[in-house]
């Protein structure tokens, strides 16, 4: 590192609720944060700056928005608030890192630019695993009734009193499907095998609901759509393929929820020395946002394999900024 290279106090990687909340707190503490917002990607699944909320049409469970707010609009508001206090943004991906226990940390962008920082907040989130169907991706982007989070979207008016489908067979799928039984006329679990992988208690909880059904030995081959009264393209049915006979059939539904897991966005720190838990998420030190590397913190879904909600991500973004501020203060770097 040359003497002319600037060392930032705080660099935040990621631009979802965790990243922007960290930026708001860091900026108000005069830490001059820089947010690397990321670059849009379409393969193998949709990944947009702003995170999973960019695929959410209406957010109704975030406090302060009594009439709801679209996910993209919420992220724009978060960004505007962070920039109001002096946050700088960079439309770049961080593609590799060299974390140094003695600091500063070295980050490299997709444009082969080198960035140095005393503290780094990892907030790149986790990407929902999708089926990989063209119609699935389009309807998820357009708010057409395809989602990867029932708890986020299932209570929306567009899904109420309609037949809904959940793809998956694990505990997460059971939890999502059980939640949806409160609103749907029927909830179908679509599973490729003849038995579920979920724990017995989760299976029983779902199957005990009067409007719960399972489509065994089935996979989703395609998704059909129609145009509603508002001129919007929305899901109308899923095309199922029987895994034993190969037979195709249509299942009419008003919504499809994909519950086949999430993948934390940690590829760029895979060989950085950061410790991960058994599921591949960043391991934190107790109730803090500290990682095992001094000056490196993690917030949001990159370190949360349980809740994965906008408000919990924002909360840990606040914690990460406060943890970074205290870390810098203890070393007389502010």
Q: Name the residue among 120, 36, 77, 103 with its Cα closest to residue 299.
A: 120
Report which DSSP code applies to 3.
T
Ramachandran region of residue 14, left (φ > 0), alpha (ψ -120 to 50) or beta?
left
CA–CA–CA angle 33, 291, 268 (5° rounding): 70
Locate tokens 């928005």: which residue?
Answer: 65
d(CA 146, CA 89): 31
Gap between the Cα atoms of 262 and 69, Å rounded: 24
CA proximity to 108, closest of 16, 4, 5, 3 = 5
How far apart CA 119 and CA 46 sit, in angstroms, is: 29
What's the Rg (C-alpha) of the chain? Answer: 21
**CB atoms inside a 10 Å sphere around CB 66:** 7
| Residue written as token pair 């949360």 | 304
Which residues are known to be catalytic? 149, 152-153
Does residue 186 sit in helix, strand or coil? strand
Question: How many residues would you count in the chain?
Answer: 334
């Amino acid at each position: 590192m040359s003497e002319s290279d600037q060392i930032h106090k705080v660099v935040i990687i990621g631009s979802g609720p965790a990243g922007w909340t960290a930026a708001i707190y860091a900026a108000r503490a005069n830490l001059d944060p820089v947010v690397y917002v990321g670059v849009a990607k379409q393969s193998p699944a949709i990944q947009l700056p702003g995170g999973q909320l960019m695929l959410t049409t209406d957010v109704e469970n975030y406090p302060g928005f009594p009439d709801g707010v679209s996910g993209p609009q919420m992220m724009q508001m978060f960004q505007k608030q962070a920039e109001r206090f002096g946050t700088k943004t960079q439309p770049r991906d961080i593609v590799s890192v060299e974390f140094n226990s003695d600091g500063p940390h070295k980050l490299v962008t997709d444009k082969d630019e080198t960035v140095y920082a005393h503290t780094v907040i990892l907030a790149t989130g986790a990407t929902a695993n999708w089926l990989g169907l063209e119609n699935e991706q389009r309807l998820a982007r357009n708010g057409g009734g395809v989602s990867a989070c029932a708890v986020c979207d299932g209570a929306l008016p567009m899904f109420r009193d309609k037949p809904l489908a959940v793809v998956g067979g694990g505990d997460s799928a059971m939890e999502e499907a059980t939640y949806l039984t409160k609103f749907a006329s029927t909830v179908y679990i679509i599973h490729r095998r003849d038995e579920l992988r979920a724990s017995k208690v989760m299976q029983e909880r779902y199957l005990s609901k009067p409007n719960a059904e399972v489509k065994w030995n089935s996979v989703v081959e395609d998704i059909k759509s129609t145009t509603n009264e508002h001129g919007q393209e929305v899901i109308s049915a899923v095309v199922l393929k029987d895994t034993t006979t190969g037979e195709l059939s249509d299942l009419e539904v008003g919504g499809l929820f994909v519950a086949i897991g999430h993948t934390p966005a940690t590829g760029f720190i895979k060989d950085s020395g950061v410790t991960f838990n058994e599921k591949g998420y960043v391991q934190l030190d107790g109730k803090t946002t500290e990682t095992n590397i001094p000056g490196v913190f993690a917030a949001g879904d990159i370190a949360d394999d349980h809740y994965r909600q906008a408000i919990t991500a924002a909360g840990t973004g606040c914690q990460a900024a406060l943890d970074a501020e205290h870390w810098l203060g203890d070393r007389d770097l502010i």
